[in-house]
Amino acid sequence: MAPATAFIVGLTIFTAVLIGVLVARPGITATRGGKILAFAALFFLPLFCGAMGVSSKMAQSETTEFCLSCHTMADYGKSLYIDDPNHLPAAHFQNHRVPPQEACYTCHADYALFGTLKVKLGGLRHVYVYYLGTPPAPQDIKLYEPFNNRECLHCHLGARSFEEGVVHTADPATLPAIKANKLSCMSSGCHEVVHDIAHLKDAKFWKEPN
């Protein structure tokens, strides 16, 4: 268990025990000290524990492990290990261009205002479909809307490899079109190989060193 999680769980249980004392002996709230204790135990500490728990759970929901905990996503997780530098997610994951422990979220976050809220609501919908609906087959999963270059440019904008790349600068119209999201980074002939789960069985995989 992570130290932060252990601390939150410990504080939560401590608060519950403190409240238990108040429930068993409510008479102690008659004194000034008892009133202060009651305020801390019945108001401040539960809200503090709740806020810390939400913050921790939100962070946990951004991990690769969390995304891949749904069986439907298993093939997408495997595709991160394809041994092919042209396979975009695999190259990003294996070379730590994205933090490997938050690989899914880093690319699939919406880097716009309220983007986090939007993706979290999308995540709630995924949970609903997974447990109460009919989850689609992995190969049938589609993005809600075409991948926005904004998510790539969040990191690549201003980078020399992007701004001065041979292909990117061959035509003066290319870079402005990419930056305006008029030419997708994943266009045919560009970085088009993304989560190619249809050909997983033929793929060669990279083995992560221990």
Partner 1 sequence: MPANQLEKRLQIAGTLLIAGLLIEALCMLWKSPLAFIFFVAIGGLLLGVGVAVYLVSLVSSAKNPG
Residues that bind partner 1 (CB under 8 A): 1, 5, 8-9, 12-13, 15-16, 19-20, 22-23, 26-27, 29-30, 38, 41-43, 46-47, 49-50, 53-54, 56-57, 60-61, 65-66, 69-70, 123-124, 126-127, 130-131
Amino acid at 62: E
Structure-derived torsion over alpha carbons of residues 155, 160, 163, 168, reported in degrees to the nearest 10: -100
**Shortest gap between Cβ of 207 and partner 1 (angstroms)?**
25
**Shortest gap between Cβ of 72 and partner 1 (angstroms)?**
12
The structure tokens listed for 32 are: 């000034």
Whether 197 and 79 have beta carbons less than 8 Å apart is answered as: yes
3-state DSSP assignment of residue 134:
coil
**Shortest gap between Cβ of 105 and partner 1 (angstroms)?**
13
Which lies closer to partner 1 via its Cβ, residue 66 or residue 81?
66
The structure tokens listed for 124 are: 């709630």
Which lies closer to partner 1 via its Cβ, residue 5 or residue 174?
5
**Shortest gap between Cβ of 67 and partner 1 (angstroms)?**
9
**Residue (of 200, 209, 153, 143) closest to 181 by Cα position:** 153
Which lies closer to partner 1 via its Cβ, residue 13 or residue 173?
13
CA triplet 6, 11, 17: central angle to 5 degrees?
125
Which lies closer to partner 1 via its Cβ, residue 35 or residue 199?
35
